[in-house]
Amino acid sequence: MIVGAALTLIVSHGALAAENGPRLRIGHYSTGSGLMGFVIDRMGTPIKLRFDGSDEILALTAEQAPYNSMTLKRDDGVSVLRIYETGRILVFSDKLSGGSADAYRDQEAEPLVVKKATKEQAETEAESLGRKLRGAGAPALAISLDAPRLSADSAAWSAMADAIAVTGITLEEMLTSPIAREVIAAKLRRVVIRDADRVDVRLADDALIVEVKAMEAVTGRPSSARLKSAIGDLL
């Protein structure tokens, strides 16, 4: 793997320099045990990653680390990857023995982009998610969209649909816990995905407000990890 050039941090631009050639900037990696795999996309800024078995794309922030390496972190500050100048890639996860493992490039991959969606499709996904969550233990929960600034044909509805999906991933996981399910069922009646000028998660009476920047796909919404942490703190 020739990935050393990807480690040069261009501080003035806040980005990692990509390797020469698009083939080397995108790839699928797996741990030696095969327990974990992921696609990393270094075609632009920020660097993006998606773990196998997940629909969520993570936007990662690069920080300098010891031994001429770079650590890539989620929006909640948790380290996901470390890339060394030698080409070594280390993935961090509590699912791995010891909390980390080396990962090796094993396949080609496509760029990580959110699925295209229209306003109608986003609204349908919100309704569908509401039904799913009500059946999972939150009987009064409804999902709605608040995006008056977006025209009906705006491409930003794709980002709104992506925010719905990530919110669904978070709440579905939380509802598997009896304690979290009881709290959510008792305190929440609505989840509102709102187009705003910031990324935020807050509680307003019995509504969870997830604020997103719909014009900024992936980076304009919180990750499921940040959502889970924020919801836990709020409730």
Q: Does residue 223 fall inside a structural domain? A: yes
* Domain, as residue range, for 207: 119-234
> What is the structure's pLDDT at 58?
98
Please, what sign has the CA dihedral across residues 197, 202, 204, 209? positive
Band (pLDDT 50/70/90 cuts) for residue 165 is: very high
Average pLDDT over residues 125-131: 97
> What is the structure's pLDDT at 209?
97
Domain shared by 34 and 70, yes or no: yes
Domain shared by 91 and 55, yes or no: yes
Domain shared by 139 and 223, yes or no: yes
Does residue 22 have a pLDDT over 90? no
Q: Does residue 57 fall inside a structural domain? A: yes
Domain shared by 97 and 140, yes or no: no
Domain shared by 96 and 171, yes or no: no
> What is the structure's pLDDT at 67?
87
Domain shared by 11 and 91, yes or no: yes
Q: Is residue 158 within 8 Å of 121, Cβ to Cβ?
A: no
Q: Does residue 113 fall inside a structural domain? A: no
Q: Is residue 207 within 8 Å of 152, Cβ to Cβ?
A: no
At 98, the amino acid letter reads G
> What is the structure's pLDDT at 8?
39
Domain shared by 44 and 127, yes or no: no
Q: Is residue 38 within 8 Å of 95, Cβ to Cβ?
A: no
> What is the structure's pLDDT at 142?
96
Residue 107, beta-bridge partner list: 28
Domain shared by 92 and 139, yes or no: no
- String of DSSP letters for 94-118: TTSGGGEEEEEEEE------PPP--
Q: Does residue 208 fall inside a structural domain? A: yes
The residue out of 80, 107, 134 marking a domain boundary is 107
Q: Does residue 170 fall inside a structural domain? A: yes
Does residue 13 have a pLDDT over 70? no
The residue out of 50, 77, 107 marking a domain boundary is 107
Band (pLDDT 50/70/90 cuts) for residue 109 is: very high
Mean model confidence pLDDT for the chain:
90
Domain shared by 145 and 91, yes or no: no
Domain shared by 175 and 222, yes or no: yes
Residues 6+ apart with CB under 8 A from 2: 19, 24, 87
pTM: 0.86
Domain shared by 74 and 138, yes or no: no
The residue out of 67, 85, 107 marking a domain boundary is 107
pLDDT digits (tens, 9 = 90+) for 57-92: 999 999 999 988 999 999 999 999 999 998 899 999
> What is the structure's pLDDT at 94?
92
Q: How many domains does the chain contain in total?
A: 2
Measured in Å, how far apart are the chain's first and last C-alpha atoms?
Answer: 45
Average pLDDT over residues 44-66: 96
Q: Does residue 114 fall inside a structural domain? A: no
